[in-house]
Structure 1
């Protein structure tokens, strides 16, 4: 083989070897560089809806990004409550102690898709009362809070948790300028068609209809707004058994009804009970239907 041939063969081998090495090492570097520069997909963090806890009154402004929470279809606060919300409640307590005439209306909200399994007129009202009860447990005075409930189409949620479904409206109540006509009219309405709760024989249990729940809500609203309101609960019985036993049974029914009302937005301090036993029947005790009508409590405003 001539020198020229060997020279050409060497050049060919060099070119082939160079191409192989470039392909193996340099291209891998390029591919790695391209891979490293490719943007990576990051799963977005699920953030809780922004529904701040706000207390805005004349002389008090507080806001925190956290809030009170309720599970869907529930009127029970999720515990524990965050420190930032608790701090706001502490500031509210100091403010209300310095302003005893200040009233705050708590409006609770529920969505139209939720189920109300409470004894309140609606789930929003039940939540408002739950918030008020929590405030009272923290040392705030019950008589400085009014409650109402509203049903809306939707509310901000995180999965099955409603974030802060309540508003707080500060309003100053002047005891010298009450709307007598409004409350007198409501009192007349309550007493003209009083709430009557019926009981089974020797039992003190009840299950309210929607109409009866509305009457409870009206009595609660009256007792909240009228300072000296007194709710009278009178227990009655049929004439089965001796009179003394029936007096005691009717009183037990009155106390049971008082306990029920106090758990549904009416201050126990404003509820008075008494027993008439079998002395004031409204139906014939000779029939089963008549006896059932006589086993009752009647709730009116004094």
Structure 2
């Protein structure tokens, strides 16, 4: 083979090797980059939001109020605390409702809060919907509407869908009505409710050293009744009275009874009951309802009684 032929073959070999290396180092890298870009574009896609969004709507069929807004009070899943701050348009809509109601003391606002059966109810109310309605009621009251003119309700609604952050948009609806001033049934029902609270007060028992409350369904219903009563009878006061067994000295037990009463007061305040309407005191070991000679008797004496004046 001549030197010229060998030289040409060497050039051809070099070109071939270079082409192969260029393919693997450049083209495959470009494909990898393309795949990476494709993957990143897939992961960046936001999940579809199918959440339920209920508008704020307050209308009076017997008057000229019709306030509608594509916004509302929002709540986290299993919570009854309003997510704040509210938008300016929503606050403006609430002011319109307030101004309308202040022109006619017979107007009643009915607030219904909703909840799902799989939500956890950590409130003191019978259900999370009623707790949410009461939170919204308090917001209206803070604007100047009297709680005497607001009724609250709670209903289950398993059709609600939270968003990707577990927020429910507007799990609350409103209705306006007019009270007949000649109809005394509303006030009679409130008076009967007060009598029932006094005759069968809420009693909470404490284990030694306990710092939490786990209310029964009956106890939650009593809290709701107490809240409803003081909403309608503004001069009423909630009395929270702490009691102890006779373990230890009388002075320490008086302090312990007060500590338990104050704990219940904070609990009620955390459930949208005004601090100004709650009075606390301690009877210590002075008024046992059972014998302190047994564990069961001492357990019954470690209690807090919640009633109204």
TM-score by length of 1: 0.72
Task: Measure, in 2, the Cα distance between the counterparts of 1:249 and 1:157.
Answer: 43
Residue pair 1:202, 1:249 contacting (<8 A) in 2 also: no
Count of paired positions: 258
Question: What is residue 174 of structure 2 aligned with on the other side?
Answer: 168
Residue pair 1:51, 1:156 contacting (<8 A) in 2 also: no
Question: What is residue 124 of structure 2 aligned with on the other side?
Answer: 119
Residue pair 1:231, 1:301 contacting (<8 A) in 2 also: yes
Aligned-residue offset at 1:219: 1.6
Aligned-residue offset at 1:168: 1.8
Is the aligned partner of 1:104 residue 2:70?
Answer: no
Q: Specify the SS of the correspondent of 2:71.
A: coil
Q: Deviations over 1:233-281 (max 9, x none)?
A: 2211111222222222212222222232233243333333332211110
- With over 3 angstroms needed to count, the CA separation of the structure-2 counterparts of 1:239 and 1:154, relative to structure 1, is same
Question: What is residue 26 of structure 2 aligned with on the other side?
Answer: none
Question: What is residue 39 of structure 2 aligned with on the other side?
Answer: none
Q: Specify the SS of the correspondent of 1:91.
A: helix
- With over 3 angstroms needed to count, the CA separation of the structure-2 counterparts of 1:196 and 1:189, relative to structure 1, is same
Is the aligned partner of 1:84 residue 2:72?
Answer: no
Is the aligned partner of 1:150 residue 2:155?
Answer: yes
Query: Structure 2: 5+ residue runs without aligned partners?
Result: 1-47
Residue pair 1:223, 1:266 contacting (<8 A) in 2 also: no
Task: Measure, in 1, the Cα distance between the counterparts of 2:246 and 2:132.
Answer: 41
Larger Rg: 1
Question: What is residue 191 of structure 1 aligned with on the other side?
Answer: 198
Among 241, 244, 259, which residue is 1:234 paired with? 241
Question: What is residue 9 of structure 2 aligned with on the other side?
Answer: none
TM-score by length of 2: 0.70
Task: Measure, in 1, the Cα distance between the counterparts of 2:125 and 2:151.
Answer: 15
Over aligned residue pairs, what C-alpha RMSD do you find?
3.0
Task: Measure, in 2, the Cα distance between the counterparts of 1:237 and 1:150.
Answer: 38
Q: Counterparts in 2 of 1:128-147, with a 5 A limit?
A: 128-136=133-141, 142=147, 144-147=149-152
Aligned-residue offset at 1:214: 1.6
- With over 3 angstroms needed to count, the CA separation of the structure-2 counterparts of 1:55 and 1:272, relative to structure 1, is same
Question: What is residue 4 of structure 1 aligned with on the other side?
Answer: none
Q: Specify the SS of the correspondent of 2:160.
A: coil
- With over 3 angstroms needed to count, the CA separation of the structure-2 counterparts of 1:299 and 1:47, relative to structure 1, is closer
Task: Measure, in 2, the Cα distance between the counterparts of 1:175 and 1:108.
Answer: 27
Q: Deviations over 1:64-89 (max 9, x none)?
A: 12222233333233344333212212
Aligned-residue offset at 1:93: 3.5
Q: Specify the SS of the correspondent of 1:75.
A: coil
Residue pair 1:204, 1:252 contacting (<8 A) in 2 also: no
Question: What is residue 272 of structure 1 aligned with on the other side?
Answer: 279
Among 224, 246, 254, which residue is 1:217 paired with? 224
Question: What is residue 59 of structure 2 aligned with on the other side?
Answer: 56
Question: What is residue 281 of structure 1 aligned with on the other side?
Answer: 288
Q: Deviations over 1:28-77 (max 9, x none)?
A: xxxxxxxxxxxxxxxxx968756321122335321112222233333233
Aligned-residue offset at 1:293: 1.3
Query: Structure 1: 5+ residue runs without aligned partners?
Result: 1-44
Aligned-residue offset at 1:127: 1.4
Q: Deviations over 1:14-34 (max 9, x none)?
A: xxxxxxxxxxxxxxxxxxxxx
Is the aligned partner of 1:299 residue 2:306?
Answer: yes
Residue pair 2:72, 2:90 contacting (<8 A) in 1 also: yes
